[in-house]
Structure 1
Amino acid sequence: MAIEQLFEALPLHYVQHALTKYGAANLGLTLLVTLVVGILADYAWMLYIRSKMPPGPLPWPIVGNTFQLPDVKPWIYFEELSKKFNAPIITFWIGRNPTVWINDAWTASDLLEKRAGIYSSRPRMLVFAELGSGQNNLVNMITTTQAQRERWRVMRKVTHQGVGIQQVRKYRDFQNDESKIVAYDLLKTPEYYVEHFERYATSVVSIVGFGRRVSDAKDPIITEVIAFMHRAASLNVPGKTFPMLMETFPFLAKFPTEIAPWKGGLGRRGKSYRGHDFFYSLAEEAANNPGHEDCYSKFVFREAPKYNLNPQEISSLSGNLFGAGSDTSSSTLVTAVLAMRAFPDTLIPAWEELDRVVGSDRSPTFDDDENLPYMRALVKEVFRWRSVAIIGGQPHAPTQDDYYNGWLIPKQTWVQGNVWAIHHNEREFPDPDRFNPYRHMKDHPDWRPFPGEKGYMTFGWGRRVCSGQALAEQGTWLTVARLVWGFKISPALDAQGIPIPVDIFNYTDGLNMRPRPFKVDIKPRSEAIRQAMVHEGEQALADLAQYEGETKYRMSTFYKK
């Protein structure tokens, strides 16, 4: 029995009888003894379950291992625990709830891919899900019952209509044009490369979802939505401070949000929840726009009666496009620039290959992919070297008790893939912090076996793999190939002309991590290439003119009266 349920189970007449018979002092002692016995019984249960589960640090009563968490980047700590216990998976207790962290690629494949039928559900996520979009969002949906599984399949089917593997091939033309504009903008203001990447990534998903491109890097739809996504991503990182501390003490979530500052504004419903009504309104606005019949919002509203979609589901479906493609894609491109600056020798084979296959009169296209094996390997290494979704997205949960190597993984346990540890395992990736595209070329001595064909696990696993994977991979390959083809990334110089160093470990701390600001010098590789980028950029602007437009909504003012 949970500690918070202990006193609820005491009948009122028992308390009244004890108060009459023994007096207040004795009653207090009785209650204290009852509390201590309850805590000890609960702790005995924790230790019993712990003895059957994968190894891990000894939990304390009630709080588990919560306060052993580091202040930042817990995935590195879990990697160290895995090495300490010499186990591919470890158990770490968040309060009274055991969580299992997978720190090995082959184990992740065994559990989350090969046993996807068991591990396709979600655990209870109080902070990220229950106090947020709940079960209306495909990302959060628990699938332990037949009804839940059927609803999840409906939501996944509708999502794939927007960003599925086959569907995203239809987006290549405008994705290619938006990528050309990135190169064009870098010629003019290279110092704002982060803003250019954010504009590109947001514009692509905005065209997909709402039929409207984002032409200005200062457009609030970029700055506000990406800030919103950063906030959402932070709510999935285990922590010992509020609001994540509510996962350890869930009874604190029962307090009204208005009088509970530790909730950080979470838990407001309806119009007060930042996300639902805003994204629904964006989608509704696009659906009522007479142009661009193929945009995803029109499809969703057209199919809503068929699938009985409610407004919260429509909001989540449209909002997830930004989550799947804006912040993550732009962060990946920033990482690519950092890798190019820190490991310039890796660009020499890429330049030789691009000059041979593509030349200087045009930039790479999707059709060049099969003839650019090193370039393909370089992009794979970008995904591997510093994965954005560093813990593989939301946790999985088995729908039944499961055993792996003799260890128990109880039903509905929080199971998380530690992408950092997986991508930094010396067995598959010797000297893992070195950026080395040859790791992904099977005919090279640096190649090592890895589950699957991709060579990375950046986008998650099984039936819960990131819905935007195909769109992100497609756009990242093209844009990184165009960056490498078009530019030299050199050290920026300080006022004394001394090169400014970069730190390959200086990343943000959220679930979707990106490099903290760093300076580089970005210049075209040749005059012929510069002229080609100018010509292609101007043509791309003309091609994309059909998507110009503006929304009347701003997230920052949407809920203000």
Structure 2
Amino acid sequence: MLIPNVTWLDLCLAGIGAYLVKQVLNKNLTPYPPGPRGWPLVGNIQDIPQIKPWLTFAEWGKKYGAISHVEILGQHIIVLNSVKSAVDMLDKKGAVYSDRPVLPMGGELVGWKSTLVLLPYGDLCRQQRKNIHQTMGNRATLEIYHPIEEIEFHRFLKRVFLNPEQLQAHIQHTAGAIILRISHGYEVKENNDPFIDLVDRAMDQFLRCTTPGAFMVDIMPSLANVPEWFPGAGFKRLAREWSKTREDMAAIPYKFVKDQMAAGTALTSFTSNLLVGRSLSAEEDDMVMWSAATLYAAGSETTVSTIYSFFLAMTLFPDVQKKAQAEIDAVVGPDRLPSFADRDSLPYTEALVKEVFRWSVVGPTGMYPHRVTEDDIHDGYHIPKGSLVIPNIWFMLNDPQTYANPSQFNPERFLDNNGKDPEPEPRTICFGFGRRICPGLHLADASVWISTVMSLAVFDISKVVQKGVKITPEVDHTSSTISHPKPFKCSIKPRSTKAVALIQQDANY
């Protein structure tokens, strides 16, 4: 039997034919949501930018409405630009809208699909979320960890006082110290801690391998099958190396807890509570290990970004800083550091924390897309099974119809002003929606609050002066999945000699 010669022209014509047939069939279906017109075959491949896509998504919202649609190489993508559409779809239809997409590089080859953020929706995902919820599902369950946070942020004040130029590193160290103490009962070393270094390295690799479009294999998944030695397959070597880092990040702290428990010296922690008095199967053991890894890997990175944003905001908006300091001085006084017990008595500082979460959005597009597990009709639009749904959280928190002058850092928007209702609570938006909402949101909120109030109690934060000129930092954020303010300079100095004395007090467990 002769096999006919197939040319590229034949393939192109066949593809165009299939596309035209699909278009004809689709005319008989409920329409997709509106969106930019794409090209045959490749769709909207040129319409989604690599740099700050949330800005482009916001423009789509203005042009097409709260729900817009694009298609890239057959993959449907739905963008949501309103809180209502996100709640109606991701919350109220959570059974359909809670899966995650397959990421060939980060999820499959490197293996991050083991962690909750990329775990497919199902029994394992629900169990990991349940484990975390039992430890930090609300503010009340976190109270047992308040002394840990107060002590670690007191140590943070000492580090900043001694070396303010290393602010970002101090935030990273402190956030990691808190999470590791809670997740694994591990007390970090003051310098060059091996667990902190491991987490930082793993999270850097995580962000690099899960950034959309960073690797060709995410666009052409079949490339995952080529051997590592094949020309252009350097990503396979990276995946192998990064997979080892990912595995170490989970396994080494987990082994530490088991060894400490065997020796009878383990501190109470998220992990020890899940292990004590239980005989686990291999599957259950793996689930506990990855629940703990998820807790401290994801939690530390988002907290670092938000606290760094607080220092940026205080540098740029000194009047806000002075109002918060005046409130703290009146309630707490100069003779002690603030504590969680003061929280309900500091309404302006509470509003300031809300504004930090709104003004500098850590997950501008909701970390990772939701994936639709079955066809749906929503608001008269066809949402195909397998669609990726992206909530544009950045726009939801910067919509001028919701937040007056959104680029302005203004905590008073969340207070009662002359009978005017406060603007919407940002913490019900910034942590995501539905069954994929961040499970560590209460810990993140507590960490940002205590770092804010302690820092304002003892430090004045201001612009750096160089040659008599004040240097105004630029408000600019990275385009990564977890967005950080780009590095900036600020001046951090003790407010008084009493503040120095408070900083230098012992801070021990």
Give the length in aligned residue pairs.
Answer: 503
Shift of 1:533: 2.3
- In 1, the alpha carbon distance for the partners of 2:221 and 2:441 equals 33
- Given that 1:439 and 1:446 are in contact with CA atoms closer than 8 Å, whether structure 2 keeps it comes out as no
- Residue 395 in structure 1 maps to residue 373 in structure 2: no
- Change beyond 3 A, Cα 1:445–1:186: farther
- In 2, the alpha carbon distance for the partners of 1:195 and 1:307 equals 39
Partner residue, 1:463: 435
- In 2, the alpha carbon distance for the partners of 1:258 and 1:433 equals 50
- In 2, the alpha carbon distance for the partners of 1:444 and 1:92 equals 44
- Residue 59 in structure 1 maps to residue 38 in structure 2: yes
- Residue 475 in structure 1 maps to residue 453 in structure 2: no
Partner residue, 2:133: 160
- Residue 279 in structure 1 maps to residue 230 in structure 2: no
Bigger shift: residues 440-449 or 412-421: 440-449
Shift of 1:47: 8.1
Shift of 1:92: 2.4
> What SS does structure 2 have at the residue aligned with 1:68?
coil
> What SS does structure 1 have at the residue aligned with 2:471?
coil
Bigger shift: residues 524-533 or 39-48: 39-48
Partner residue, 1:514: 484
Bigger shift: residues 356-365 or 439-448: 439-448
- Given that 2:463 and 2:470 are in contact with CA atoms closer than 8 Å, whether structure 1 keeps it comes out as yes
1:214-240: CA deviation from partner (whole Å, max 9, x where unpaired): 23354353344224313323444433x
- Given that 1:121 and 1:398 are in contact with CA atoms closer than 8 Å, whether structure 2 keeps it comes out as yes
- Residue 17 in structure 1 maps to residue 6 in structure 2: no
- Change beyond 3 A, Cα 1:228–1:369: same
Partner residue, 2:152: 178
- Given that 1:253 and 1:263 are in contact with CA atoms closer than 8 Å, whether structure 2 keeps it comes out as no
Partner residue, 1:557: none
Shift of 1:195: 1.4
- Given that 2:477 and 2:484 are in contact with CA atoms closer than 8 Å, whether structure 1 keeps it comes out as yes
Bigger shift: residues 133-142 or 381-390: 133-142
Q: How is 1:299-378 mapped onto 2 (pairs within 5 angstroms)? A: 299-302=273-276, 305-306=279-280, 309=283, 312-378=286-352
**Counterpart pick for 2:474 among 503, 521, 525:** 503
Partner residue, 2:503: 533
Partner residue, 1:489: 461
Equivalent residue letter for 1:415: V
- Residue 249 in structure 1 maps to residue 224 in structure 2: no
TM-score by length of 2: 0.90
Percent identical: 29
Q: How is 1:101-180 mapped onto 2 (pairs within 5 angstroms)? A: 101-133=79-111, 135-143=113-121, 149-165=122-138, 166-180=140-154
1:85-122: CA deviation from partner (whole Å, max 9, x where unpaired): 2x112112232201111121222122222222332222
- Change beyond 3 A, Cα 1:513–1:464: same
- Residue 93 in structure 1 maps to residue 71 in structure 2: yes
- In 2, the alpha carbon distance for the partners of 1:210 and 1:178 equals 15
- Change beyond 3 A, Cα 1:75–1:46: farther
- Change beyond 3 A, Cα 1:253–1:45: farther
Partner residue, 1:11: none
> What SS does structure 2 have at the residue aligned with 1:99?
strand
- Given that 1:103 and 1:417 are in contact with CA atoms closer than 8 Å, whether structure 2 keeps it comes out as yes
- Residue 81 in structure 1 maps to residue 60 in structure 2: yes
1:164-212: CA deviation from partner (whole Å, max 9, x where unpaired): 3354322111111001111122222122111111111000011112222
**Counterpart pick for 2:17 among 25, 35, 40:** 40
Shift of 1:44: 4.7
Instruction: For structure 1, list consecutive stretches of 5 or more residues without a partner in the other structure.
Output: 1-15, 20-26, 144-148, 544-561
Equivalent residue letter for 2:206: A
Pair member with larger Rg: 1
- Given that 1:137 and 1:313 are in contact with CA atoms closer than 8 Å, whether structure 2 keeps it comes out as no
**Counterpart pick for 2:49 among 58, 67, 70:** 70
RMSD: 2.7
Shift of 1:499: 1.2
1:421-441: CA deviation from partner (whole Å, max 9, x where unpaired): 111111111221111111222
> What SS does structure 2 have at the residue aligned with 1:394?
coil
- Given that 1:201 and 1:326 are in contact with CA atoms closer than 8 Å, whether structure 2 keeps it comes out as yes
Shift of 1:488: 1.0
- In 2, the alpha carbon distance for the partners of 1:56 and 1:445 equals 40
Bigger shift: residues 255-264 or 169-178: 255-264
**Counterpart pick for 2:354 among 380, 392, 395:** 380
- Change beyond 3 A, Cα 1:197–1:135: closer
Bigger shift: residues 508-517 or 225-234: 225-234
Bigger shift: residues 306-315 or 372-381: 306-315
- Change beyond 3 A, Cα 1:28–1:95: closer
- In 1, the alpha carbon distance for the partners of 2:282 and 2:128 equals 11
Equivalent residue letter for 1:66: I
- Given that 1:389 and 1:512 are in contact with CA atoms closer than 8 Å, whether structure 2 keeps it comes out as yes
Instruction: For structure 2, list consecutive stretches of 5 or more residues without a partner in the other structure.
Output: none
- Change beyond 3 A, Cα 1:271–1:83: closer
Bigger shift: residues 42-51 or 218-227: 42-51
Bigger shift: residues 371-380 or 168-177: 168-177
Partner residue, 1:22: none
Shift of 1:346: 1.2
- In 2, the alpha carbon distance for the partners of 1:259 and 1:446 equals 65
1:262-284: CA deviation from partner (whole Å, max 9, x where unpaired): 56347957995431244212211
- Given that 2:397 and 2:426 are in contact with CA atoms closer than 8 Å, whether structure 1 keeps it comes out as no
Partner residue, 2:393: 419
Equivalent residue letter for 2:130: K
Partner residue, 2:230: 259
Shift of 1:355: 1.4
Bigger shift: residues 513-522 or 161-170: 161-170
Equivalent residue letter for 2:53: P
Shift of 1:327: 1.7
1:290-311: CA deviation from partner (whole Å, max 9, x where unpaired): 3234123334444774465366
- Given that 1:122 and 1:141 are in contact with CA atoms closer than 8 Å, whether structure 2 keeps it comes out as yes
1:500-557: CA deviation from partner (whole Å, max 9, x where unpaired): 12101x222211111121111111222222222222xx1x1x32xxxxxxxxxxxxxx
- Given that 2:226 and 2:233 are in contact with CA atoms closer than 8 Å, whether structure 1 keeps it comes out as no
- In 1, the alpha carbon distance for the partners of 2:47 and 2:163 equals 45
Bigger shift: residues 221-230 or 474-483: 221-230
- Given that 1:377 and 1:438 are in contact with CA atoms closer than 8 Å, whether structure 2 keeps it comes out as yes
- Change beyond 3 A, Cα 1:210–1:463: same
- Change beyond 3 A, Cα 1:425–1:43: farther
- In 2, the alpha carbon distance for the partners of 1:409 and 1:117 equals 14
